[in-house]
Chain A
Amino acid sequence: MTFSYNWLQSFFKTTTRPPHPPTFGGPLKLPKPAKLAELLTAKAFEVSEVKEFGKDWVLDIDVRPNRAGDCFSHLGIAREISAITGLKYIGDTYANSYANLRLEEDKKLKAKDFVSVEVKNEEACPRYTARVIIDVKVKPSPKWLTNRLKVCGLRPINNIVDIVNYVMLETGQPLHAFDGEKLEGKKIIVRFAKKGEKIVTLDEQKFNLCSDVLVIADAKKPIAIAGIKGGKPPEIDRKTKIIVLESANFDSRIIRKGSKKLNLRTDASLRFEHGIDPNLTEFAITRACNLIQKIAGGKVAQGLVDFYPKKVFPKRIKLDFEHVEKLLGIKISKKEIKSILKRLGFKLIEVGPMTISVTVPTFRLDILIQEDLIEEIGRIYGYEKIPSVLPTVSLIPPKRNLDIFWEDSVKNNLKEAGFTEVYNYSFINEEDGKLFGITSPNLIEVENPVSLEQKYLRPSLIPNLLKNVQTNQKIFQDIKIFELGKIFQKPNKEKRMLTGLMLGNAFYQVKGLIDLLLNKLGISNIWYDEFKATPEESRAAIWHPKKCAEIKVNHEEIGFLGEISPRILEDLKISMRLVIFDFDFEKLTKLASEEHEYRPISRFPAAIRDLAVLVPSETGVEEVLNKIEASGGPLIRDIDLFDIYEGEELPEDKKNLAFHIIFQSKTRTLSSKEIDEIQNKIIKAIEEEPEWQVRR
């Protein structure tokens, strides 16, 4: 929100008169604009910009929402400046003494003869004050006034409207002026809109109202959207003679709701939705009448119309000096604490040696508990003066987080294997879903996506990894990437997945990687099962039907391995084949174990024999391995498949498997005779299979 430096300066004068007409300078000079901005930033609100504007400066101050109630106003900022600098400001006396703003009322004219106010719902409108001014001259405003409005970004209209806006910028209280002669039945009724009611606002916008929008109505129709915007019918124009001035307080939630519903935000609604002190209405309306009288002439009718059934009184909060020290970690003298609070407008009553009772002015809607007061003390005193003191705490070592431990371990292993980690967005678009055979009813949809690209939460890490390939394939031929992140499933499940891919015809490389990875996690008994998709299984759509496998430990599937279907790759314009692994990371961490045992190196030599077996193409290597192992017995330490060959020189539909068989005993040196015997046993066992043949 923007503020005028000169306007702020005008509150710092020795005279107690309200700042009209404004005089710049005065004996109490504020720090220069840049310096003032620095002070405000350090102790109150961030000033994001200081800009010269004619003979004035604009300060863009980021008033936080808790202080909107009192600091969306020049008076409020002046109060802050006074508390920070110690300079006495004029508002100190004037905000509390309406006497200085005494109006000359015309005793022959009675306000209630011109307007009557009826509030239908006092929760929605805790206070409504109105005044009537007769015989005003509507004309352009004087220059000093229009200048101040312009500095704050407002467009001057005419003296009446400008004064109303001026008082809002000064006090924080939005006001509204009606042409008294245009009010049907001389009535103002505060009520909720009726179904089907419409309104045209001052700027000619049409709105259809509904029953949760609060309006100001006359006897017949809505004439303003309460707290948001005035209506066209009772608009002030050059012919206006009778002004009915409204200064009211509306419930913040109702204004916020209405403003959202109509999608209409105004300077008034912004202030009301943050909440305003109901005691402010009277001061603001007096101030406005005062200015109107001076600038637009006219007579103020006698009497303040005031609906205020539940007067708000100041709260009292007990402040314990010891608690101040305990929370801030520094001892601030009682004298200093009291001085800070007084400068901020709090009243203090001593109740004990270490306690005071603090009376909170009603404009400080944000101060509710003792800690709120401590913040005021801390910031004005200066956080920079608080020392750094390491806490004295019991020596509790941090709890080890196993999820994080395994996460780190897995990432390290993948990195060592040449994989690069990516972080993708947690969203996908509709096309991604379709491509993967997951239709929108099965996805968690974002109600208000930033764009269609983020319409759904990702049900798998795969779609975005494939996008990474799309964007990188022009530059990199050898892509190996992975991600560890959450996926989202209906209705409200999220789980962590570990997914990666490698470009190329790389099924066996990835399979080997998985074995290694699981091995490092201390997971054994891994096996690969053929994937038999049930017809309704949607994920079947993305895999190459002949090149994929379920990764299992015991009887549980913990992940999936496979080549992406060429059909999908074509749709995504990915030019190379690629293989993906996809793990349920939570299952991995459950199975993972840090136990690792060293296997002593045998003191006795190992012997290697080779074995080549011709088998039908569709025979699994696993079957042959099992046969060798079973027939060879415990002296086989390892069997290593070193070649698979299919093609020329071999009968059709056959493949040749070549193994190194490693024999070793833990207790003795094996004789070659002994090894030959085992080898022959193996050969015999293999040849018992009708279609297998050992090649010699």
Chain B
Amino acid sequence: MKMPKINLRVLKNQTQKEIEKAENLKELDEIFKKYLGKRGELTQVLRLLEKLPKTKRVKIGREANELKNFLRTAFDQKAQELKEKAQKKIEEKEWIDITAPGKKPVLGHLHPLTLVKREVEEIFGSMGFSVVEGPEMETEWYNFDALNIPQDHPARDLWDTFYLKNGLILRTHTSPVQVRYMERNNPPFRIIVPGNVFRHEATDPSHEFQLYQVEGLMVDKDVSVANFKAVVGEFFRKFFKKEVKFRLRPDFFPFTEPSFDIGISCVMCDGKGCSVCKEEGFLEVAGAGMVHPNVFKNSKLIPKDWQGWAFGFGLERLAMLKYKINDIRLFRSGDLRFLNQF
């Protein structure tokens, strides 16, 4: 049999060129079949090898096998290239407008008072204060008399009160829980008391007849005004997450002696003066004082054995400052346009 003329070099060039030209995987596959398929040109060369004389067979055989491996790699590379190109094309086609609005999942919302209350509880919790609660319908004894606010005394006018036909009142502050707690627990202790309180007054953007208050009470052998300043100062720094200056001013509450009101440097203007603080640079946020000996007495504790301080503040006020809310009536409006923002 006559040996066909084998020019591997031409075959190589030809194949390479065709691979190069292939536009897609299908074309590439055709080319593969043409050269390396069962009846492919190179395959046929390899099949003819055995008919060659031994000397030639070895030489051409090696060259042909090398070519085969070389082309395989070239095919693979090209295939990879085409695949990537095809994917890219698909991706290109899938362009989306990233400026179109996203679709939000429907989440619920916690009330801002809950958020603020949790924060207050957490901060005081970290300082060893337990959370205690008490009734919202209260006796006059716990709400007034036990707190050293005698009947028929003008001091009672400081608290506008809702009277109920069942003989109770709606508590005007969380302070009655001081007495309720001290009656049943022996000092030392540190507690805070969150809860609803009620004031009989007309409402406007800064007045509300139902408020959420937090009371604090710390009693031990010797806790002083200096300690009070430290604990409350720490609270305000943590709550507003910045350096807050605060000041005590004389005030009067029948159940504390001495009594003071607490002002903090305005968190809106950092004390420079703005409309929120009425240009004063300070905001009154809480009332406080050292527990009056009569309150210890009324709680069945021996006054000379114990010292303590107490404070009370409105959560609405803190929330208004924290979230820049301009109308206190929003809290109990049930308005979802307001609530959905928290």
A residues at B contact (CB < 8 Å): 41-46, 64-68, 252-253, 256-257, 273-274, 326-330, 369, 371-372, 374-375, 378-379, 383-384, 386-391, 393-401, 403-404, 408, 411-412, 414-427, 444-450, 454, 457, 464, 467-468, 471-472, 475-476, 478-481, 485-486, 488, 490-492, 494
Task: Establish whether residues B230 and A492, one from each chain, have CB atoms under 8 Å apart when the complex forms.
Answer: no
Task: Establish whether residues B111 and A378, one from each chain, have CB atoms under 8 Å apart when the complex forms.
Answer: no
Say if the beta carbon of B141 comes within 8 Å of chain A: no
Say if the beta carbon of B129 comes within 8 Å of chain A: yes
**Which B residues lie within 8 Å of A378 (CB)?**
225, 258
Other than the known A256-B152, A395-B128, A400-B130, what 5 A-B pairs have Cβ atoms closer than 8 Å?
Answer: A374-B257, A383-B249, A396-B128, A399-B130, A472-B335
Known contacts A415-B107, A444-B164; is A389 also within 8 Å of B152 by CB?
no
Q: Which 6 A-B pairs have the closest CB atoms?
A: A329-B226, A329-B224, A375-B258, A64-B252, A468-B334, A415-B108
Task: Establish whether residues A423 and B331, one from each chain, have CB atoms under 8 Å apart when the complex forms.
Answer: yes
Task: Establish whether residues A393 and B188, one from each chain, have CB atoms under 8 Å apart when the complex forms.
Answer: yes
Task: Establish whether residues B133 and A415, one from each chain, have CB atoms under 8 Å apart when the complex forms.
Answer: no
**Which A residues lie within 8 Å of B227 (CB)?**
329, 389-391
- Pick the most buried of B106, B108, B153, B339: most chain A CB atoms within 10 A of its CB: B108
Task: Establish whether residues B132 and A401, one from each chain, have CB atoms under 8 Å apart when the complex forms.
Answer: yes
| B155-176 at interface with A (beta carbon < 8 Å) | 155, 157-158, 162-168, 170
Cα A339 to Cα B223 in complex, Å, equals 26
- Pick the most buried of B110, B135, B254, B334: most chain A CB atoms within 10 A of its CB: B334
Name the distance in Å between B249's Cβ and chain A's nearest Cβ. 6
State the majority secondary structure of interface residues on B. mixed
Name the distance in Å between A469's Cβ and chain B's nearest Cβ. 9
Known contacts A327-B290, A375-B250; is A426 also within 8 Å of B210 by CB?
yes
Task: Establish whether residues B110 and A424, one from each chain, have CB atoms under 8 Å apart when the complex forms.
Answer: no
Task: Establish whether residues A329 and B164, one from each chain, have CB atoms under 8 Å apart when the complex forms.
Answer: no
Say if the beta carbon of B45 comes within 8 Å of chain A: no
Closest chain B residue, CB of each to CB of A387: B226
| B4-26 at interface with A (beta carbon < 8 Å) | none
Task: Establish whether residues A388 and B129, one from each chain, have CB atoms under 8 Å apart when the complex forms.
Answer: no
Task: Establish whether residues A374 and B249, one from each chain, have CB atoms under 8 Å apart when the complex forms.
Answer: no
A450 CB contact (under 8 Å) in B166, B200, B331: B200
Say if the beta carbon of B233 comes within 8 Å of chain A: yes
Say if the beta carbon of B41 comes within 8 Å of chain A: no
Task: Establish whether residues A446 and B165, one from each chain, have CB atoms under 8 Å apart when the complex forms.
Answer: yes
B31-39, B89-97, B113-121, B267-275 - the one binding chain A: B113-121
Closest chain B residue, CB of each to CB of A422: B334
16 residue pairs bridging A and B, Cβ less than 8 Å apart:
A326-B307, A327-B258, A371-B257, A378-B225, A379-B258, A383-B248, A388-B226, A389-B224, A389-B229, A400-B130, A408-B118, A411-B114, A421-B114, A423-B113, A425-B210, A481-B334
Task: Establish whether residues A403 and B218, one from each chain, have CB atoms under 8 Å apart when the complex forms.
Answer: no
Cα A423 to Cα B118 in complex, Å, equals 15
Cα A239 to Cα B121 in complex, Å, equals 72
Name the distance in Å between B333's Cβ and chain A's nearest Cβ. 8
**Which A residues lie within 8 Å of B29 (CB)?**
none
Task: Establish whether residues A444 and B108, one from each chain, have CB atoms under 8 Å apart when the complex forms.
Answer: no
Cα A580 to Cα B91 in complex, Å, equals 48
Name the distance in Å between A37's Cβ and chain B's nearest Cβ. 11
Say if the beta carbon of B332 comes within 8 Å of chain A: yes
Say if the beta carbon of B78 comes within 8 Å of chain A: no
**Which B residues lie within 8 Å of A423 (CB)?**
111, 113, 212, 331-332
Task: Establish whether residues B164 and A422, one from each chain, have CB atoms under 8 Å apart when the complex forms.
Answer: no
**Which B residues lie within 8 Å of A472 (CB)?**
334-336
**Which B residues lie within 8 Å of A395 (CB)?**
128
Known contacts A398-B130, A421-B108, A426-B136; is A371 also within 8 Å of B224 by CB?
no
**Which B residues lie within 8 Å of A412 (CB)?**
110
**Which B residues lie within 8 Å of A426 (CB)?**
136, 170, 196, 198, 210
Known contacts A388-B230, A391-B231, A476-B336; is A446 also within 8 Å of B162 by CB?
yes
Task: Establish whether residues A446 and B164, one from each chain, have CB atoms under 8 Å apart when the complex forms.
Answer: yes
Closest chain B residue, CB of each to CB of A384: B247
**Mask: chain B, 212-227; 1 = CB below 8 Å from A; 0 = not:** 1000001010111111
**Which A residues lie within 8 Å of B166 (CB)?**
444, 490-492
Cα A471 to Cα B292 in complex, Å, equals 46
Task: Establish whether residues B164 and A447, one from each chain, have CB atoms under 8 Å apart when the complex forms.
Answer: yes
A418 CB contact (under 8 Å) in B108, B152, B231, B290: B108
Name the distance in Å between B287's Cβ and chain A's nearest Cβ. 11
Task: Establish whether residues A421 and B252, one from each chain, have CB atoms under 8 Å apart when the complex forms.
Answer: no
**Which B residues lie within 8 Å of A372 (CB)?**
257
Say if the beta carbon of B293 comes within 8 Å of chain A: yes
A43 CB contact (under 8 Å) in B203, B250, B340: B250
**Which B residues lie within 8 Å of A257 (CB)?**
152
**Which B residues lie within 8 Å of A415 (CB)?**
107-110
Say if the beta carbon of B40 comes within 8 Å of chain A: no
**Which B residues lie within 8 Å of A403 (CB)?**
133
Task: Establish whether residues A386 and B229, one from each chain, have CB atoms under 8 Å apart when the complex forms.
Answer: yes
**Which A residues lie within 8 Å of B250 (CB)?**
43-45, 375, 379, 383
B226 CB contact (under 8 Å) in A389, A397, A449: A389
Task: Establish whether residues A450 and B202, one from each chain, have CB atoms under 8 Å apart when the complex forms.
Answer: yes
Name the distance in Å between B229's Cβ and chain A's nearest Cβ. 4
Task: Establish whether residues B248 and A384, one from each chain, have CB atoms under 8 Å apart when the complex forms.
Answer: yes
Name the distance in Å between A93's Cβ and chain B's nearest Cβ. 27
**Which A residues lie within 8 Å of B252 (CB)?**
64-67
**Which B residues lie within 8 Å of A485 (CB)?**
196
Task: Establish whether residues B225 and A383, one from each chain, have CB atoms under 8 Å apart when the complex forms.
Answer: yes
**Which A residues lie within 8 Å of B259 (CB)?**
375
